[in-house]
Amino acid sequence: MEDQLVRKPTYGSTVTRIQAQGHRKIELEYKTGDKLQTKTYAGVFNTTTFGCLKRIDTTKAGLNYATKQALRSIRYGAAAKVGIQFKSAWWIHKLKSHNIKKGGIGHSDLNMRNCVYPSYNIYDDKSKPAVLLCSYTVQQDAQRIAALISKSSDPAQKLKAEAELKELLINDLVRLHRNSDMTVKKLNDLIRKEYISHHAFEWYQDPHSVGAFAFFRPQQFTGMWSKLIHPSGDFVIIGEAASPHHAWVVGALESAVHGVHTWLEMNKSHISGAKDALKLLETSEDGNPFVGLPPYMDANTSSWQALLAMNTRDEHLSKMKEEEGIDL
């Protein structure tokens, strides 16, 4: 995909400011190391979480009021995952008659809450090392696990600092998998002997996410989401938060299709090939959920949102011209 682009992506940089300067003219200011640079684009599709976007200066980006409120107030859920690498997939091969032969999730009320059994390694050699996502937690459960996750960037120091977390999860694994064929002592000895290493991660500790996924409070969805998903001029917010399918990759993908469709509808008279692209985005196939606009969005509604976005853009540019005397 990158080979097809005339202007290549910029990596390892932080966007510091977004400013609308005219029709199909948005300036991005970004920092690479200590160097501050700017680039101008016809449109910007923002995929960051709202916590990250709030740190970017968007005072002159032309955001509508509801979007500004959403960036400040929509809650992002906490989530934590801990994966443990073992010498072998003991849950597949060493639980005797209770071997777990399929991928899936084991739910519990233990500290680990959800133990996720991967399906990609079911047929691997039984002597090969394997990783078990032994804990996947959200909300308060994730925050409690996160209290035991080290923030050290040194792997050895991090593992040492997470000794209590390791002990807690191994004990939970024993309690979850004990059965009539494996006594608690045998299972405890087995899991400890199989342990190689682990990795724990919590999304609120990551400055590039500041939370795992959008978790709308009461009335926020009805009051903000409909405004959030129509562009603020040539600035378009996409990602799982801009879809009814919060927290899911499918939501992020659907929001991208809708966002591109709305922006092209705004600018179809000025961009070569835009009308052909719109037809492609609107084409659906019976039984194929991967083409066409999302099921919650039709072409007429998306076109109406494009009209609202054009009004938002014109109002913002008129205000800038009046306040700053800039001819836009």
What does the pLDDT read at residue 286?
85
pTM, 2 dp: 0.85
Structural domain 77-205, CATH architecture: Alpha-Beta Complex (3.90)
Q: Which of 28, 3, 2, 9 is nearest to 234 (CA)?
A: 28
CATH 3.50.50.60 applies to domain 2-75+217-324:
yes
The pLDDT of residue 204 is above 90: yes
Strands 14-22 and 57-60: parallel
The pLDDT of residue 281 is above 80: yes
Task: Grade residue 66 by pLDDT with cuts at 50, 70 and 90.
Answer: confident
What does the pLDDT read at residue 326?
58
Cβ-based burial of 147 (10 A; exposed 0-12, middle 13-18, buried ≥19): exposed
Domain boundaries, the chain: 2-75+217-324, 77-205
Average pLDDT of the residues in 98-126: 94
What's the CA gap between 230 and 302, in Å, rounded?
8
**264: left (phi > 0), else alpha (psi -120 to 50), else beta?**
alpha
**155-185: per-residue pLDDT in tens?**
999 999 999 999 999 999 999 999 999 899 9
Average pLDDT of the residues in 71-88: 95
Cβ-based burial of 205 (10 A; exposed 0-12, middle 13-18, buried ≥19): middle
**206-228: per-residue pLDDT in tens?**
999 999 999 898 988 988 888 88
As beta bridge partners, residue 72 has none
Cite the beta strand spans of 179-310 per DSSP E: 195-202, 213-214, 235-237
**34-62: per-residue pLDDT in tens?**
999 999 999 999 999 999 999 999 999 99
The pLDDT of residue 290 is above 90: no
Q: Is the alpha carbon torsion for 63, 69, 71, 72 positive or negative? A: positive
Q: Is the alpha carbon torsion for 114, 115, 116, 117 positive or negative? A: negative
Length of the chain counted residue by residue:
328
What's the CA gap between 319 and 73, in Å, rounded?
26
Q: Which of 203, 220, 224, 221 is nearest to 212 (CA)?
A: 203
